[in-house]
Structures are given as structure tokens and as C-alpha cells.
Amino acid sequence: LKVLGRFDEAVVCCQRHLDIAQEQGDKVGEARALYNIGNVYHAKGKQLSWTAAQDPGHLPPDVREPLR
């Protein structure tokens, strides 16, 4: 989903993975889910920054939020 640019759907799937891992007490699965969530938000922020006209060193709020 991330590769397709469907970031919000990807986050939902990653969150479900995180919930399941936490319910099972699976620390490795939990870490992987958290990594994947961060990876999706990073990709979303990067894609938004490519399409936004910006001054060097300034990111619009819609780009800053996913990266935060």
C-alpha cells in the first residue's frame, strides 16, 4: 500500500499489526510494526515535500505533520 501511495490505508494495516503483536506479547512483531508505521509516515512526508513548492529549509505544515 505504501508503494502505491495509499499511505493512510498502510498505516491502518500497520496499526492492526501493532495491536495484534501487543495482544500476543510479541516484542519483535511490535518493533516491526512500529518501524513500518514510521516508514509509511516518512514516505508520505517525502512524497508531499516533492509536490510542495517551498523555500529551502521550510516545510509546509502538511509535510511537517507526517514527518513529526
Report the SS3 class of residue 1.
coil
pTM of the predicted protein model: 0.71
CA pseudo-torsion sign 26, 28, 31, 33 = negative
CA distances from 62 to 11, 16, 20, 52, 57 (A): 17, 24, 30, 9, 15
Give pLDDT, residue 51.
67
Q: What is the pLDDT of residues 14-65, one digit of tens each?
A: 999 999 999 999 999 999 999 999 999 989 888 877 766 666 566 667 767 7
Q: What is the pLDDT of residues 1-28, one digit of tens each?
A: 888 889 999 999 999 999 999 999 999 9
Domains of the chain: which residue ranges? 17-53
Report the SS3 class of residue 55.
coil
Instruction: For residues 55 and 38, give the distance between their C-alpha atoms in angstroms, rounded to a whole number.
Output: 25
Give pLDDT, residue 65.
76
